[in-house]
Homo-oligomer: A and B are copies of this chain.
């Protein structure tokens, strides 16, 4: 019973305040652990109660993780049938959560496929212009919007330059993107350029 009081190699779990973890590194670790914990809980819940669960998580720097039981496509396919997405580049306003998820899935698949060709940027833009961002606009707060405004201004210039100006070597390069199964990329780290934001549930 009496723990060897002389030397506790570890302090054991300690209570923490429920607020944003300031330390970047600690936050990263906590995120990773808790994310796994959350997914585990979801797994258990679905097992114990035969429930279908889907979870999507967007980190600060817009990295996304998701969990799906039985499987994301499952719910996703259903939706694509009911609300077909004609073109990833066409703006579709009737979007809802599942649809967005589906879109994400699709984009991911494309990413997977194209990754080999080393053209992740294009995919990124695809998702960018697929409407998700535009639709989520409403979820951004004022500050975020302002920041975004600046970013867009810049992006717009770049795009315009690309269209009107001469061809620029692209380069592209490392694609630290996911593998398909469990997402791994690091977490947080930088403030996200665009606070991106929320999806919709129903």
Q: A83 contacts which chain B residues (CB < 8 A)?
A: 91, 93, 134-135
**Contact assessment for B202 and A103 in the assembled complex, using a CB-CB cutoff below 8 Å:** yes
Q: A142 contacts which chain B residues (CB < 8 A)?
A: 162-163, 172
Tell me the residues in window 33-60 of chain A with beta carbons closer than 8 Å to chain B beta carbons: 34-35, 37-38, 41-45, 47-60
| A47 CA / B66 CA spacing, docked (Å) | 18
**Contact assessment for A162 and B139 in the assembled complex, using a CB-CB cutoff below 8 Å:** no
Answer whether A111 and B158 are a contact pair too, CB < 8 Å, given A74-B117, A140-B121, A200-B76.
Answer: no
Total copies of this chain within the assembly: 2
CB distance from A200 to the nearest CB of B (A): 4
Q: Fill in one digit per residue for A104-147: 1 if any B CB lies within 8 Å of its CB, else 0.
A: 11111011001111111111111111111111111111101111
Answer whether A62 and B183 are a contact pair too, CB < 8 Å, given A56-B201, A74-B117, A162-B145.
Answer: no
Residue of B nearest to A182 (CB): B122
CB distance from A189 to the nearest CB of B (A): 10
Q: Which A residues are within 8 Å of any B CB, using their own CB?
A: 16, 18-21, 27, 30-31, 34-35, 37-38, 41-45, 47-76, 78-79, 82-83, 85, 88-89, 91, 93-98, 100, 103-108, 110-111, 114-142, 144-149, 151-156, 158-160, 162-163, 168-172, 175-185, 187-188, 190, 192-194, 196-202
